[in-house]
A and B are shown apart, each in its own frame.
Chain A
Amino acid sequence: MSNVAVVGVGQTAFTRACGVSIKELCFEAFKEAVEDAKNLQVQDIDGSIVCSAPEYDKQRSPAGAIAEYLGLNPKPTFYVESVCASSTTGIRAAYGLIKSGLNDVVAVVGFQKMSELSSTEVQERMGRGADIMWESPFGLSMPAGYALFARARMQRYGMTEEQMARVKVKSSKYSVLNPKAIFQREVSLEECLGARAIAAPLKFYDCCANADGASCIILANSDKAKKITDTPVQILGLGAASDSLSLANKASLTGLNCAVEAGKQAYKMARIQPRDIDVAEVHDCFTIAEIMAYENLGFCKPGNGGKLIEEAQTYIDGDMPVNIDGGLLGKGHPIGATGGSQVRTIVMELRGDAGKLQVKGAEIGLVHNIGGVGLYGNVIVFGR
């Protein structure tokens, strides 16, 4: 059966307020992906999947609006949502469509215009991201959710606030080299540790910023992929899993079980081990999330994630380079666009197109994209 490859990638700069409509935002990412694909005409795309978190959208059913604007009618289009993991869920759906033969070439467009809502409206939605019946009535937010994991790990493993801060120090070192990143300033360890508390032990620099942005990933079956580009990047394995929405009922409070499960599936399908990964993009919505990802993906043993960043093993010249495009902490986090941006980075790394952020000779890359507080987990393994 035909394999599925990425043939084109694009993304807008991630910014605080893009000043354009969601259709215009998506067009920019789509144009970049189509042009990146070289021998691809828009009419060759026989389906599209649009991904965002709908509570931030004014437009009802955005897939219709965006498919029209991109010139993709009358080809089928639909919308998928898994909050922050929406666009890798879109890629999973596209993989299924192509593998089954229903489609040959599918565009996955992820976007979010967080500035579409006032900060009061965003704050109201933040309260409804937890279980609204039993957990939201206590005033639970996303940072508080991840902070509960951080505290449990400090207790169990002796993880430190300094280890978490070191993740942001790494992130800012690389985001200043990524022109599409929102955060264009290097921060010091002292600055991170001295920042104001958001949800203790998490402080200001432990948290990523909301952003506006769009991403587009174009996938095709291997026959088409060879005609479209000289440098297709293959999808070698995919994994997806879920955990409880309720924080109290999570399978673990020291790691994200949905990431562990999704990772195992992706490695098995790709027939690789964690040590075979040359470069990874993980979902660092908070510094603590990156440290848990190291462990949940098997880059180190449970409990050793803090040590891995302390030893600088996840820097570009370390044993396992992670988030060397700045990650969510450095790029900003336009919810529906984030997974596509992670995939774009890995595809560029595997093609050798990553410029100053290139990991030499990278052949196998991994994307780990999480929705909610460890609610939805997607892991995808890519190869040249």
Chain B
Amino acid sequence: MGFEKFGKVNYTAETKVKDFADYLEKGKIEATQCRVCKKVYFPPRMDCSNCLSKDQMNWKEIDNEWTLLTYTKAHFAPTGFEEDTPYILAIAESSEGLKTLARISKDVSEDKIKPGIGLKLVPVKLPHDKTAYEFRLSSE
């Protein structure tokens, strides 16, 4: 247990990266880096598919400069997300070459959203003591 507080709807309570959710609550977004081969993972993981090391990861703050690759405005949602619609889902790539999917904050005006813009990932607090992260404009 420990990871159930990540995300509006969570399906994975048990994981070796549960500390990620604690860091997020404290306002920090952490990646992991393999002590053996130095590969960086975000979202984080404790097992390295590059060198097959197990539990040999250090937590490492992400390099928080992202470029928007693509996005969609979702008007229909899976169970648990209905009241959020419409919301914008995006994939962005970091200056370290990591890629991740998250929502773009509803505070970002839609006319500013297009592939290529600079983004940063920020922790967000959700109702019922849940936590997540979302993209905001890097200029804000």
Contact = CB atoms under 8 A, between A and B. Distances in A.
Contacts of A201: 72
B43 interface: yes
Contacts of A149: 70
Nearest to A142: B78
Interface string B66-96: 0001111111111111001011010100000
A132 B12 contact: yes
B7 interface: yes
A137 B10 contact: yes
Given A124-B79, A126-B78, A155-B115, A135 B101 contact: yes
Contacts of B10: 137
Interface residues of A, number: 37
A127 B75 contact: no
Given A136-B11, A137-B7, A148-B89, A248 B74 contact: no
Contacts of A269: none
A152 B69 contact: yes
B101 A138 contact: yes
Contact of A141 (B7, B78, B91, B100): B78
Nearest to A143: B76
B99 to A, nearest CB: 4
B81 A127 contact: yes
Nearest to B92: A248
B17 to A, nearest CB: 9
B59 interface: no
A195 B23 CA distance: 43
B101 A199 contact: no
Nearest to B3: A133
Contacts of A128: 11, 78
B103 interface: yes
Q: Which 10 pairs, one residue from A and one from B, show the smallest C-beta to C-beta distance?
A: A137-B7, A127-B78, A139-B81, A147-B72, A152-B70, A132-B11, A124-B79, A200-B73, A248-B99, A134-B43
Given A136-B7, A139-B9, 12 more contacts: A132-B11, A133-B12, A135-B101, A137-B10, A138-B7, A139-B84, A140-B101, A143-B76, A144-B74, A148-B89, A152-B69, A152-B115
Interface of A: 120, 123-124, 126-128, 132-141, 143-144, 147-152, 155, 196-202, 246-249, 253
Interface of B: 6-12, 15, 43, 69-81, 84, 86-87, 89, 91, 99-103, 114-116, 132
19 contacts: A126-B78, A127-B78, A128-B11, A134-B43, A134-B100, A136-B9, A136-B78, A137-B10, A138-B89, A139-B89, A144-B74, A148-B91, A151-B70, A151-B71, A151-B115, A152-B69, A197-B86, A199-B76, A200-B72
